[in-house]
Chains A and B, each alone.
Chain A
Amino acid sequence: MNKSIPTEIERFDLSARIQHIILFTSFLVLAFTGWGLKYAYQEPASAWIRFWGGARSAGIIHRVAGIILLMDFIYHQFYILNLFRKKDLSLTIVPMPKDLRDLIQNFMYYLGLTKERPSFGKFSYLQKFDYWAVYWGMMIIGTSGFFLTYPVMVSSIFPTWTLAWIWDVIFTMHSDEALLAIVFIFIIHFYSEHLKSDVFPMSWLWLTGRMSVDQLKHHHPEEYERLFGEKKNK
């Protein structure tokens, strides 16, 4: 092994790690406070709401957490712009046709149809999906949440012919997509970063931001090639 290859690489810088912590804290608070209202007629909704200090305070906490998440999201856009300005931005997070091929190959590997695992870049298709899911969530849940917070103001921008159904659609969007986000996170994210046998009980990446080069080589071979491939050939 070439000596110029370090044992660890920095995958997420400090700003990204802090953004992530704010993201998941506000997300969890939103999920927990909103859950009581979504399932208001299923016990233990009332106990759940009491935990947050009653319906009024749960509502206020929910709104504050929503604003924090929105700020975090906006900050992230500036963070990306800044990376772009510093020419430090790699487009490895953008979904490509290769991701679809990787997906198919991965399923074939699972089913024993091929012995080759797909060779992922810096981010696997599932990680890209996870990342862009936040944009989807912000668009659907964030927008509808904003509408529901300021119904009087927002109603003036809706055309009259939509008024008979628009609020029901907004309400369903907010609550169903929130459920989708929660279940998605609890299944995919918790599986890949906590339960999966090679990270159990937890991947430390979110705190250290660092990934071992062995892990990188194994899980993201293309990124490994991109970073160290040429050096290796020298």
Chain B
Amino acid sequence: MRYWLNVLLLLLLTLVLVPAAGAATDAATCLGCHGSMEGAVNVNQEKFSKSVHGSMNDCTMCHMALKGAQHQGLAGGKPDKAVTELAAAISPKSKIDPIAGAACVNCHPDVYASYKASVHGRNVIDKKSSDGPICISCHGSPHYIQPKSSKESAVNHFNVVQTCASCHEEKMMIEKYGFTPNLVERYKESFHGRKLKVGHGGAPSCADCHGAHDIKSDKDPSSPVVGANKIKTCSKCHPGATEKFVAAITHKPLHPIAHFSEIALIILTVGTFIFIIIHVLLDIFADIRDRLFRKGGSNE
């Protein structure tokens, strides 16, 4: 009897220790290696578990097509047409695992639909540009993805300007795509940009006016910042906005008149400073001189 009990216990232990074929792709198994590997294939277990995707325990949900002998038998679902198409489009950009980079669309089909029609999406999918943004370009690694409300999220209200700037401020990109030069700089100098910087939740970031996944080119008449749409967009915060009012924000380089009046004001300000500082210093000098060398001079 006792012998059989021991056998049963050992069998049970074996069952626990050796993962069954079905459970072989759970996160713990993968992290057994990837948690301690160096470089791009490393996944930080702690950060992963704290991320929005941390509760997803099946790595092959996204990593559907794993390569190499070490991954033998670890196959997930078959990627569908949308994923394969997007994976093909992003393969010049997402070199390690394009299928995984495209797998976002499985759970986020609505976002994908608007991205696909956006200027970013068309650039990546239709034109196959290797420098167009894919999901992870803005959102960062899906392993560590944080909710938008988190301060760590790259697309958080207060961080998204820097995220957009990572391309829109790049000289190479400005030249290639004809972006307005110094556009981010001009935004940051503006009231909107300054208010956002000092933590005003109501100040608009890029996405509040331009949209996010559905972003349009400024040559596209359906863009929220073109023509009559711009009036509607500005009215979200400025009720009663008119065509004349919305002309205030363009992010275009400073107009020469504004530039020269700024210089004139700086000259006026600096000139006044210099004058009053000299005046005060001379007054101090004369005061000391009179007290030391002209007895009674300052009391008379």
Contacts and interface: CB of A to CB of B under 8 A. Distances in A.
A165 B242 contact: no
A60 B47 CA distance: 40
Given A151-B238, A163-B244, A172 B262 contact: yes
Decide if the interface of chain B is mainly helix, strand, loop or mixed.
Answer: helix
B236 interface: no
A211 interface: no
Contacts of A75: none
Contacts of A79: none
A103 to B, nearest CB: 9
B148 interface: no
A183 to B, nearest CB: 6
Interface of A: prevailing SS: helix
Contacts of A163: 244, 247-248
B198 A45 contact: yes
Contacts of B244: 155-156, 158, 160, 163
Given A110-B283, A110-B285, A111-B282, A218 B299 contact: yes
A169 B261 contact: yes
A152 to B, nearest CB: 5
B265 interface: yes
Contact of B279 (A169, A171, A188): A188
Contact of B262 (A55, A58, A148, A176): A176
Interface in A16-70: 36-37, 40-41, 45-46, 49-50, 54-56, 58-59
Interface of A: 36-37, 40-41, 45-46, 49-50, 54-56, 58-59, 107, 109-112, 126, 148, 151-153, 155-156, 158, 160, 163-165, 167-169, 171-173, 176-177, 179-180, 183-184, 187-188, 191, 196-198, 218
B277 A187 contact: yes
B283 A54 contact: no
Nearest to B265: A176
Contacts of B277: 187
Interface of B: 188, 190-191, 193-195, 197-203, 238-242, 244-245, 247-248, 250, 252, 254-258, 261-262, 265-266, 268-269, 272-273, 276-277, 279-280, 282-283, 285-287, 289, 291, 298-300
B255 A168 contact: yes
A139 B276 CA distance: 21
Contacts of B254: 165, 168
Contact of B242 (A126, A152, A167, A188): A152
B248 A173 contact: no
A33 to B, nearest CB: 11
B291 to A, nearest CB: 8
Contact of B269 (A165, A176, A191): A176
